[in-house]
Structures are given as structure tokens and as C-alpha cells.
A = this chain, B = another copy of it.
Amino acid sequence: MRAGPSQEEIRRHNLGALLRHVHLSGPTSRAELTSRMGLNRSTIMALTADLTAAGLVREELPRETGRAGRPSLVVRPESARVYVFALDVGVDRLVAARVGLGGTVLDRREAVRRRGPFSLEEVVGPLAGFARQMHRKTRPDTVCVGVAAAFSGGVAREDGVVRFGPNMGAADVPFGEEMSRRLGLGLPVAVGNDANLAAMAEHLRGVGVGCRDLVYLHGDVGVGGGVIAGGALLGGHQGFGGEVGHMVVNPGGRPCGCGSHGCLEAEVGERALLEAAGRFGSQIGREAVRAVVGAADRGDIVAQAALNRVGDWLGLGVANLVNVFNPELVVFGGMLREVYLGAAAQVRSRLTVDALGPAREHLRLRTSALGDDATLVGAAELAFAQVLADPLEVLTRAGS
């Protein structure tokens, strides 16, 4: 039980809501903000004035209105001035980007990561280097308001420690703490599971905009997931929610990195596809997956059979998730994007058999709109979360 908010809390909420709107929707006229937020003009003016004074937004005359009369000023996020660092630790790559308020990627660096034994240094070292390079290039009047990372593994909400990441070889890694120390920006590094953050990114800026119930499936070496339920990310008790890749779909099936057998990951991940196609070992990664889909498309019957097999298990997994979550949308990202495009008929046929009719009648299946950058975009949104929750407070701490 909690009492209603105080005047101060309402003001903070409204500042955050206005800033979030221009951050996600781009430059917006005062008139539109007034109608969208259901507040009167003078309140919008006061909120905008506070955000302008803090250097978070600026007001401009619109380019062309095409209408007579005084045009409504447009409120624009200070994308070049206020930014975050977004990091992405994947099995095959490391990415760091400087992302401006409003979601503009201002600068980015990327390195290929060799699959092999995990060490904190091989990940933290290059990322810290990238961030330093980008930081050096910023103008003195810019301000970094947050840092966050997407990590291919299970991240505990309580302390941000990566508790498991079988495909990275990571376990109990205090990645955020070490990353923060190495960056030396005096900012904590928030860490999230990559598929969870990608789900949030598709929900906020991708194919899932306006959709309150979606399941995002991310294929990489492993298969991860992120669930938006009733508009919020499903985190679970400790933050490990959404590990749909470890739902057993084929008891006694292929061995999985988690120690079990027949997990969705074991049946539809990269290795399952490449082995079924008789191509495991010669090539790995996204290119190898694309090669199988391409071969199937050209009539290669071994590749077709492999894709059918994997598509069938993927369809069963999706059917289970449809029954459990009743989503409006299922999004396929990472290598599952290619698998779905190559085996959509198989996936849909399984859905018809195994998903409850009423739960699938309004269901849409789509591929990721943000592609491989969904995880990075999600990390940027995580990094912006604090400034959007309490714009003036965060900026004061950032020393603007």
C-alpha cells in the first residue's frame, strides 16, 4: 500500500514523461505535447523551461508549418550534448557506441570477438579503449548521463553480476563493476541480458512500438528471449526471467550447454542447424547460417531438411510461448531471423497444431526491425533510464 504521489513526485514524473516523449518520438511541438500529456499550456511551458535550463532540450521554430498564425515552438532533445555509452558483449563481437538523447548513434566502434575461453580482460579492455577514444573526441560542453551494457548471459538484478553465460563461458562475473572502474567516468555501468534489452529496444523503437505484449527471440550461438508483458519487461524474482532458450521442447533431445537436453537453444541454435545441414565445423556464425538458408532456397535438399527440422522445433517453442504469454507479437532476432525467413511455413504449421486457437488468432510473427543492433539500442535505453526517470537530479550529479 502506497499513498498517492506528492507535488514534487508529480513534477518529476511530468518532466520525465515530457523528456521521454521527445527522446522516443523526436522533436514535438508544444501544442502536441499539451494534447498528448493532457496538461495545460502553461504547465508544458514551465516543464520545457526547466528541461531547457538543464540543457536537456531546446526550443526552436519549426521549419515550415504551411499554416497562418504564430507556429507552436518545437521541443527537440539535445542529442549532440547529452549522451550515454552503450556497450554490447556478444559471443562473436564487442560493440561500444556513444548514443545521443533521442537515440542518435553519434559514434561507434566494433571488434570481432574470437569464440574461446572467457576472461574479463578480453572484454573489458577493448570496450574501455573504444569508450576512451570516443570520449576524447567529444566537445567540452557535452555530458555523459549513463553507461549500460548488454551481455550474452543471465544478469542478477540485485548486483548486476553475470551469473551464467554458458555460450560465453562466463559465470559469476562482476562485469559492470570492473567495466565502471576501467572507464573511469565516475558512473556505474548498468548490465542487462542481451535478449531482454533487445526486446525492450524493439518495444520502444522497433517492430513492437505500441505493442504491450510481445515475445522477442534472439538466436546467436545460444537462444535468448525477452518478454514484454503488459508493457513491462518480465524480469522475474532475480532478473533471470525470459530465458526461453532453456525451455525443454524435446525431452531427451540434443545436449545443451546448460546441462539439460532438448532445450529450445539446443534444437534451434546455430549448432543444431549447421549439424543438421552437415556443415558444422567448416564455418560458424551468421554467414554460415545464411549459407544454409541460401542453399535451401536454391533447392539443396540437405539444407532444406535441416531448416525444416529446426523450423519445426522453433514452431513448437513459439506455440508454447503463445499459450503461456498470449502475446500480440513474436519477434525473431539474431540468427533466428534468417531461420524464420527460411522456415516460416514450418513455424506456422506447428503453431496451428500446438497453439490454442483463440490465443493465436490475432498473433503477428515478425523479424526484428533493429537487426543486430537491437541489443545495443536496448543497452542505450537502459543507460538513459535514470535521466528519463529523474531528469534534473541525474544532470546535477553528472556535473552539468
Given contacts A3-B37, A4-B9, A244-B323, list 7 more A-B pairs with CB under 8 A.
Answer: A3-B38, A236-B325, A236-B327, A237-B326, A237-B362, A241-B326, A260-B354
Is A76 interfacial (CB 8 A cutoff)? Answer: no
Q: Are A326 and B239 in touch, CB under 8 angstroms?
A: yes
Q: Are A251 and B250 in touch, CB under 8 angstroms?
A: yes
Give chain B nearest CB distance to A385 CB in angstroms.
Answer: 15
Give chain B nearest CB distance to A14 CB in angstroms.
Answer: 5
Complex A-B, nearest 8 residue pairs according to Cβ-Cβ distance, in ascending order = A236-B326, A4-B10, A237-B328, A240-B326, A4-B13, A163-B358, A246-B323, A241-B326
Contact (A358, B3) CB under 8 Å given A229-B229, A248-B320, A251-B316: no
Chain A, 210-236, contact with B by CB distance < 8 Å: what is the 0/1 string? 001100000000000101011010111
Residues from chain B with Cβ under 8 Å of A9 in the complex: 4
Q: Are A259 and B353 in touch, CB under 8 angstroms?
A: yes
- Residues of A bordering B, CB below 8 Å: 1-5, 9-11, 13-14, 17-18, 20-21, 36-39, 154, 156, 163-164, 212-213, 225, 227, 229-230, 232, 234-244, 246-251, 258-260, 316, 319-321, 323-328, 353-354, 356-359, 362
Give chain B nearest CB distance to A50 CB in angstroms.
Answer: 14
CA distance A326 to B358 in the complex (A): 26
Q: Are A324 and B324 in touch, CB under 8 angstroms?
A: yes
Checking B258, B323, B362 against A243 with a beta-carbon cut-off of 8 angstroms, the contacting residue is B323
Checking B240, B244, B246, B358 against A154 with a beta-carbon cut-off of 8 angstroms, the contacting residue is B358
Give chain B nearest CB distance to A155 CB in angstroms.
Answer: 10
A-B pairs with beta carbons under 8 Å apart, 23 shown: A3-B13, A4-B9, A4-B13, A4-B14, A4-B17, A5-B5, A164-B356, A213-B241, A229-B229, A229-B234, A229-B236, A230-B232, A230-B234, A238-B326, A238-B359, A240-B358, A241-B326, A243-B324, A243-B326, A243-B359, A247-B320, A247-B323, A248-B319
CA distance A164 to B227 in the complex (A): 25
Give chain B nearest CB distance to A399 CB in angstroms.
Answer: 28
Checking B17, B320, B323 against A3 with a beta-carbon cut-off of 8 angstroms, the contacting residue is B17
Residues from chain B with Cβ under 8 Å of A319 in the complex: 248, 260
Give chain B nearest CB distance to A235 CB in angstroms.
Answer: 7
CA distance A319 to B260 in the complex (A): 11
Which of A38, A164, A259, A358 has the most B CB atoms < 10 Å from its CB?
Answer: A358
Checking B2, B20, B238 against A1 with a beta-carbon cut-off of 8 angstroms, the contacting residue is B20
Residues from chain B with Cβ under 8 Å of A164 in the complex: 356-358
Q: Which residue of B lies closest to A155 (CB)?
A: B358
Residues from chain B with Cβ under 8 Å of A4 in the complex: 5, 9-11, 13-14, 17
Give chain B nearest CB distance to A47 CB in angstroms.
Answer: 10
Contact (A37, B156) CB under 8 Å given A239-B326, A260-B354, A326-B236: no
CA distance A250 to B260 in the complex (A): 15
Q: Are A39 and B3 in touch, CB under 8 angstroms?
A: yes
Give chain B nearest CB distance to A278 CB in angstroms.
Answer: 24
Checking B3, B21, B237 against A14 with a beta-carbon cut-off of 8 angstroms, the contacting residue is B3
Residues from chain B with Cβ under 8 Å of A213 in the complex: 236-237, 241
